[in-house]
Amino acid sequence: MGHTTPSQRTVIESTLKEFETYGRSLRKEEQEIYKEMLERVYARVGNISFTGSVHVWKFILLSLILDIELKKKTHDTHRCICTRKQDSNVV
């Protein structure tokens, strides 16, 4: 008899459960940040499942890195706009 392979969604959920278990070992202030990070990963589950990879954790980490980079870019853009506004106010 053959073995059934778990669905991509099952693999993702199982991996995220492991990540959640790790999160419970963190200090309280770290847990809050970690929970927010995982919520961003949950928002990308569709993208992760699209890969069809059994190495889901790699794509979870990539999605977190992508989120950090997007935040940096948004922050840099905001900072640049604020700097220009300040420069235009200087007489």
Burial of 48 (0-12, 13-18, 19+ CB in 10 A): buried
Alpha carbons within 13 angstroms on the beta-carbon side of residue 58 total 5
* Contact yes or no for 55/12 (Cβ under 8 A): no
Enumerate the domain spans of the chain: 8-89
User: Which tokens in the block code for residue 39?
Assistant: 């919520």
pLDDT score, position 5: 66
pLDDT tens digits, residue range 6-50? 788 888 889 999 999 999 999 999 999 999 999 999 999 888 888
